[in-house]
Structure 1
């Protein structure tokens, strides 16, 4: 009986070896198919180019109730509509098309918070438009008159929230004036209870004069009138990074940091030195690289993120946004002021949210 069992075991091992050898010697077409199926996991969705696609935009901006007058280019008379019909195409794979209903179903019962400046507002409103277009008959409740504007898709119990924070770290009013505290981050007690956090900051770090949001800088207990802005930016991001490592339970909360959103006021950056703003730009820059290269703050951000022990995803929208000199409101906004910093909705922020969808769902 023991010999028979031993023989059976040997036979089974022999059969398994034959099957394994057959798989290893499979035809090249089988291997190609396997690579293609798994390609997305190895694909850099942030490396690619813009291609014309007449199935875009993903929604009719006129039907979206969430767009502020700063970003509603169509409503405020932009005559060219080509900017709406470009799709981001990664070099080695396809970006999954946004599916708002699947997004809501997958995140049922979750709280998503955007934290940052008006660029975060740009992305927040874009996501609301994408979701609204996917579930136009859903029960939606808005909480506007609070410190944290919130839109709740009640059928899915999904809350989309916006926390206004220009610098992420604290600015406090003291006897001497407004003090930027590079080592202090008190609002984190509110943020860490969310299920998804999407951070952004940079726009206000280089402001000077009346638009500067602080009067003094406090660095490690020392009060300064000013300091190198890139150094200050790094110190603030390091404070934020330490907060993530010490306070955020990343088993519950997904942490995402949006890359540096570019502006287009200097045509020298895209090899048109006589151009001083984005007002006459109607097409993206072709190819996959921006002529003037990546902005310095992105390198600082990437360096700080690399020091974090816990998982943080960089929503690296910098290069793909640099290529879209055509996608700003310019003067087609509620203020009729030249704006080459923010983005039209519908427009580029929809792609940011397609990438967010990919990061969260896929």
Structure 2
């Protein structure tokens, strides 16, 4: 979405300064318009890192945990913690990494959640950890952004792996958008298939945003149909890329929705 937005804006003006505002992974200022856009990479929104058992013992050690990933549910990751106080408009999201056993093996390297510096006991599964992170991060954004700032949470970008996940030979070789019944086969919660995290995460997002002043930018439903819009075998990877999107393509339409949403807010 960020690359698409940059390419669109660059068609209007080439007078661009490249820099990294507020700790961003990348950023650009269009000098003629005094407009800055930036991309802040974050996997879980919350701060996380490797955790190993302490030789002196502790609550997690007493339960048999030897290693894993510590996730501080109430501490934003440093890559974006300054973004809310810098930007006038913030679009944030999270999702794929929360259902990624290749990243966080539930047995060998589980997510271990901490709150106020202490482990959450009894340990909770990733879905409940996600709820805690969303609640804390939404509170953080509302507290640190200016009152007139615009806050949006983008819903999940769907993956389209068929026949297995990315590391199990999954592919997306279709050349046409999916039919409604095919979409349900891939994403239905009842089927609990490879791509189920899309709608699962969205449920958590919608619940967490209730009562907040964060707007929802829903890009999921329209994108679920576009199994044909991924790089697939042309992605330059050892496996089919059925997660990222080709450009030009679907993410351009996400930005159309974004602009339409801004216009509806009458900023």
Q: What's the TM-score, normalizing by structure 2?
A: 0.74
Deviation at 1:225?
9.8
Q: Which runs of 5+ in 2 are unaligned?
A: 54-67, 190-198
CA separation of 1:288 and 1:144: change in aligned 2, threshold 3 A: farther
CA separation of 1:224 and 1:324: change in aligned 2, threshold 3 A: farther
Number of aligned positions between the proteins = 228
Contact 1:170 1:184 in 2 (8 A): yes
Number of the residue aligned with 1:216? 112
Within the alignment, does 1:298 sit opposite 2:202 as a pair? yes
CA separation of 1:126 and 1:224: change in aligned 2, threshold 3 A: farther
The partner residue of 1:247 within 144, 147, 166 is 144
CA separation of 1:348 and 1:225: change in aligned 2, threshold 3 A: farther
Query: Whole-Å Cα distance in 1 between the matches of residues 210 and 182 of structure 2?
Result: 23
Superposed counterparts of 1:220-299, under 5 Å: 221-222=118-119, 227-251=124-148, 253-266=149-162, 276-278=170-172, 280-286=173-179, 290-291=183-184, 292-293=187-188, 295-299=199-203
Deviation at 1:301?
0.6
State the Cα deviation string for residues 220-256 of structure 1 (Å, max 9, x = none): 62256963221111111011122233332231x1101
CA separation of 1:128 and 1:286: change in aligned 2, threshold 3 A: same
Number of the residue aligned with 1:204? 97
Larger RCO: 1 or 2 (CA < 8 Å, sep 6+) = 1
- SS at 1:204's partner residue? helix
Query: Whole-Å Cα distance in 1 between the matches of residues 33 and 158 of structure 2?
Result: 34
Contact 1:166 1:204 in 2 (8 A): yes
Number of the residue aligned with 2:246? 344
- SS at 1:333's partner residue? coil
CA separation of 1:343 and 1:257: change in aligned 2, threshold 3 A: same
The partner residue of 1:140 within 4, 16, 36 is 16
- SS at 1:349's partner residue? helix
Contact 1:171 1:214 in 2 (8 A): no
Superposed counterparts of 1:1-362, under 5 Å: 123-133=1-11, 135=12, 137-143=13-19, 147-148=23-24, 149-172=26-49, 176=53, 178-185=69-76, 187=78, 188-210=81-103, 216-219=112-115, 221-222=118-119, 227-251=124-148, 253-266=149-162, 276-278=170-172, 280-286=173-179, 290-291=183-184, 292-293=187-188, 295-308=199-212, 311-335=213-237, 337-362=239-264
Larger Rg: 1
Query: Whole-Å Cα distance in 1 between the matches of residues 111 and 180 of structure 2?
Result: 42
Contact 2:179 2:225 in 1 (8 A): yes
Contact 1:317 1:352 in 2 (8 A): yes
Query: Whole-Å Cα distance in 2 between the matches of residues 282 and 250 of structure 1?
Result: 46
Contact 1:143 1:151 in 2 (8 A): yes
State the Cα deviation string for residues 254-310 of structure 1 (Å, max 9, x = none): 101100111111369xxxxxx9421x21111245993144712211111111131xx
